[in-house]
Structure 1
């Protein structure tokens, strides 16, 4: 699983805004890298098209050079024929006039071919300069893409490390919550023990009161028996209360 997948998974688990921000930054960097690679591929395609166009231009120049050589040779041949007529002192016949016309046409054609050749050569030079610039741009983009890739790898490593730290913090927070929960349980247990101790004390007090009541009842029974057997004893309610208080 890559770092992006891990970070997204942890963000879902913990619902952490900071983690979501890291995911957004990672996505931006990833899109930036993809844009760089797309631009790099476009430059490569332009470079390939430029290579093809330059090759076509070179073929055109070669054809123009061949045509220029052929037409120049023809012009030289006609020129030699014309000079031969002049050296022999022959009058310009219709045939010689024809050669003169052909020489003139060939000269114009040669000049036109030369012009096309120069234009083609200039175009080729411009294309080669453009190609050199494209190669330079391509090299720069390749370098930038490598640098960006290295930078993203470093950021991924930092994000993975940060993710590990965040995970550790979350675990520690859970442990702290567990400890706090245990403290709450201990407090509840202490309260229950205190309540139990208090109830036990109340039970002992109730038992003690019950024993006192039983003792009073026993004393009352004895006093009743004494009253029944001793008619001469004058026991008032006040005296009876004193007896009860003394028993308590």
Structure 2
């Protein structure tokens, strides 16, 4: 059962990390626990405290977007309805709803920035990017989960496009802001020749990105 608190402890060479876990469907990485290391699971059954050392099983599969994922599983699951015990709804006012919305947008922006950083570092493959076909698939899956999830998906896509548009790449709004910054620092606008070269480079980058995401979509959803 997952209705009682449990503790996952990593016993690898890194400093020991101990975290309480309320339900089984939890990403241990969010708690700073390395799922590939030896774990110690502690749980309570009645008045008895029990403990077991274990290793999680690595399973490779494809998610709904056809991306190959590796997950580490324990082999346990919640009793039916357990997750519902940790979920509740309550009405909120306009001010609180606005605050929660801003908080969610900030969390989405952090998630997107983390993904871009991991791509730049090579930790996240470029093949994980998608184009229009992936957007349709994401919209379909989110719509099946209800209007709330569908609305959040639309907001996530809007935030994603907005952040990409602000990248300092010529042809995008971020490129224009970069030119304004250069003009503010040098006290003179960039030369026309420089802008022409920069716009050509920006256009090449944007077209290359479009070709790549279309190729990923075709390989993932059509020819896979």
TM-score normalised by length of structure 2: 0.25
Could you say which structure has the higher strand fraction?
2
Higher relative contact order, chain-length normalized (CA < 8 Å, sep 6+): 1
The TM-score with structure 1 as length reference comes to 0.23
Structure 1 or 2: more helix by fraction: 1
Larger Rg: 1
